[in-house]
DNA sequence: CTGAATCCGGCCAGATACTG
DNA sequence: CAGTATCTGGCCGGATTCAG
């Protein structure tokens, strides 16, 4: 992608794809893309407990791969949710900690967690009822 | 996948896959799987304004396909977030409206939207800074 | 230890056509 | 109008390997 590259004859691929952003859900998409993925929430929750190093994070989050942890921390860093500090030791150590905005996000995640807990049983009950009687549209 | 199939000689693939559910983020995953996907939030936001019919929803949410709207409403219905009412008219009409729990979820989504609005600019600024100077690890 | 790079399989979403 | 069925491509996530 050369930056100085201006609209050739590429039959102008739709510049504005499907922008369902007309009223009150504009920034939601971006935030949900961040916290909605598989691992970001877990990283945020873990970092809310205090600064962690790369390996520490990986051990604290069972099942995450190095690749996914790298991508997740990078994206969170790009969005300003966490700060990365490199200690030029040997072996190298990198510390991750939530930025103020990241801490704020952690609070939001905590709210979601509370809501989840409060409704978890109701949701599971609803699913069971739905799965058992397919003809019952509630 | 035959159900009566017990551990052959497949060098025992880990029976407990990746259960990162040990402390406070148990039900979060399920809720995020619901509101984290591409369309559910938009459907909830739209239904928060009042009951809608299928076609109405689709028109209110640019870019969603029939298939995705069907799947989204079905999943939300299975989780008890909305109720479906069929009017045996001609042509048939189906009305969707948020259940009490769905309305509660809408409140949560509103909180997320508020947070998103409050931090949208900061996030974009962070991204711009990140994208322009790759060497700056903040 | 902390990453980057590559390959690859599965799942999800979009497009399309068909039914009641 | 309200859905279902099928095909298909893309993206994401996991495993592995290489580098600083």
Q: Which residue in chain A has the smallest CA separation from B18?
A: A63
Q: Which residue in chain A has the smallest CA separation from B123?
A: A79
8 A C-beta contact, residue B49 and residue B75 = no
Q: What is the pLDDT of residue A35?
A: 84
Q: What is the pLDDT of residue A79?
A: 95
How many whole angstroms separate alpha carbon B52 and alpha carbon B44? 11
Q: What is the pLDDT of residue B6?
A: 37
pLDDT digits (tens, 9 = 90+) for B65-94: 999 999 999 999 999 999 999 999 988 999
Give me the B residues in range 93-132 that sit within 7 A (CB) of strand C: none
Asked if strand C comes closer than 7 Å to A14 Cβ, the answer is no
Q: Which phi and psi angles does B53 have, rounded to 5°? A: -95, 170
What domains can you pick out in chain A, each with its CATH number? 28-126 (1.10.10.10)
Of A26, A116, A137, the CB nearest to B31: A116
8 A C-beta contact, residue B96 and residue B72 = no
In chain B, positions 10-49, which contact chain A (CB-CB < 8 Å)?
17-20, 24-28, 30-32, 35-37, 41-42, 45
Where does the pLDDT of residue B31 fall: very low under 50, low under 70, confident under 90, or very high at 90 and above? confident
Sheet architecture: strand order including A93-98: A52-53, A93-98, A82-87
**Radius of gyration in angstroms for the set of CA atoms belonging to chain B, rounded to a whole number:** 21
DSSP string, A11-35: TT--SS-----SSS-SSHHHHHHHH
Q: What is the pLDDT of residue B9?
A: 34
Segments of chain A with pLDDT less than 70? 1-26, 134-138
Strand nucleotide closest to residue A90 (CA to C1'): C1
- A67 C-beta neighbours (distance < 10 Å), count: 8
8 A C-beta contact, residue B113 and residue B105 = no
DSSP string, B78-128: HTTSEEEEEE--SS-EEEEEE-HHHHHHHHHHHHHHHHHHHHHHHHHHHHH
Is B123 in Cβ contact with A30 (below 8 Å)? Answer: yes
Percent with pLDDT over 70 in chain B: 78
Asked if strand D comes closer than 7 Å to B99 Cβ, the answer is no
Is pTM, for the whole model, over 0.85? Answer: no
CB-hemisphere CA count at 13 Å for B57? 30
- A92 C-beta neighbours (distance < 10 Å), count: 10
Where does the pLDDT of residue B135 fall: very low under 50, low under 70, confident under 90, or very high at 90 and above? low
Q: What is the pLDDT of residue B26?
A: 62
């Amino acid at each position: 992608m050369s930056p100085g590259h201006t609209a050739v004859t590429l039959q102008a691929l739709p510049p504005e794809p499907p922008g369902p952003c007309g009223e009150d859900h504009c920034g939601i998409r971006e935030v949900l893309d961040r916290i909605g993925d598989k691992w970001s929430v877990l990283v945020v929750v873990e970092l809310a407990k205090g600064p962690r190093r790369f390996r520490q994070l990986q051990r604290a989050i069972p099942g995450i791969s190095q690749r996914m942890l790298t991508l997740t921390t990078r994206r969170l860093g790009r969005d300003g949710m966490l700060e990365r500090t490199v200690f030029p030791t040997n072996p190298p150590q990198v510390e991750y900690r939530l930025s103020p905005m990241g801490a704020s996000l952690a609070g939001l995640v905590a709210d979601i967690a509370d809501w989840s807990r409060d409704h978890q049983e109701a949701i599971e009950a609803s699913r069971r009822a739905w799965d058992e009687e397919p003809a019952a549209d509630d």
